[in-house]
Amino acid sequence: MIAMSGGVDSSVAAALTADAHGRDACAGVAMRLYSTAEDAIRSGRTCCAPDDLYDARRAAAAIGIRFYVYDAQERFRARVIEPFIEAYAQGQTPNPCVRCNDHVKFDWLLDRARKLGAGELVTGHYARVERLGGRYRLLRAADSSKDQSYFLHGLTQEELALVRFPLGTLTKTQVRALARQRDLPNADKPESMEVCFVAGTPLPRFLEDHGVASAPGEIVDLAGRVLGVHDGVHRFTVGQRRGIGSGFKLPMYVAALDADRRRVVVGTRDQATRRDFRAFDASWVDSAPVPGTRCEVQIRHRGKPLAAVVDASGAEVDVKLLEPALGVAPGQSAVFYRGDEVLGGATITAS
């Protein structure tokens, strides 16, 4: 069973799988996640909308495999879009791609694959799975510029036993070349780097169109002194520099957001950095690390891995950074690595 989004990556993953197992043994499945006439007209682009599903169907036909579509719009709205909007209203910076993988894509796809008796669930993610000593390891992709292991940290041992990532050892250039060699219709289709359901709409406008009030408030320093005003906490994220205002003696960064009091707290770069933080709702690829484990933590998908010491207790993790970091934003995922291996991840809290 192959998850197909209509993009070149999942199409090449499908072609490689069909080459390995035979076309009759493979089936492509696409998920319609988000598509309304209003947003399609406004943004000019949606995620897994009819055009993308058409591209996926054409790719499946070119490869010669069966193809099915699952309408997951309500599931996606309830589990990804609505929590995304609510998180911003509370002064957090959520990661919708992590939620989508955990709560929409993999849980349904893996359940369906098991019910159909499929031996593998194949996706076009750039990551690797390795079996060592009877256990499965989730690893970064060979192409560091395309690595997506950050978004996959919620996968368990049981799930990794079934999941396959054929692109994990390839570069994007190689993937494009394979697509052209096989005359796939989406070989040169551009990829999007933005939040799919927000598309071309400015984020503040999207949030306000979906019920987040544009409530003015104060910009204050760490001592509580009022430095200016703003048009809504949802327009800011921790670590941000631009958009705060001018006239300060030193460059100012967002150090914290207080949605209840409608306050944006700012400080110098040093004041806005953190040496420790707490995260909750932890999940581990194998088992929780022992207290005092040294590893690296990534607080954004494209962020630099930071040396850290972690103490995990139940679903909570205390993280001590060995050097201060800017942009430790509540709501974002903290993903823990040992070299290329993903240990697990959790959601950063405000405290």
**How far, rounded to the nearest angstrom, does the alpha carbon of residue 104 sit from its chain's CA centroid?**
12
CA separation for the pair 342, 132 (Å, rounded): 14
Q: Give me the catalytic one of 26, 48, 100, 295.
A: 100
Strands 66-71 and 121-122: unpaired
Q: How crowded is residue 191: how many other Cβ atoms within 10 Å of its Cβ?
A: 9
The residues with which 310 forms a beta bridge, in sequence order, are: 293, 319
Active site residue 196: yes
Task: Please identify which of the residues 47, 48, 196, 295 carries the catalytic annotation.
Answer: 196
Judge contact between 269 and 253, C-beta under 8 A.
yes
Cα angle for residues 28, 30, 33 (degrees, 5° grid) = 170
Sequence-distant (6+) residues with CB within 8 A of 302 are none
Query: Is 47 a catalytic site residue?
Result: no
Residue 309 Cα to chain centre, angstroms: 24
What are the residue numbers of the active site?
Answer: 100, 196
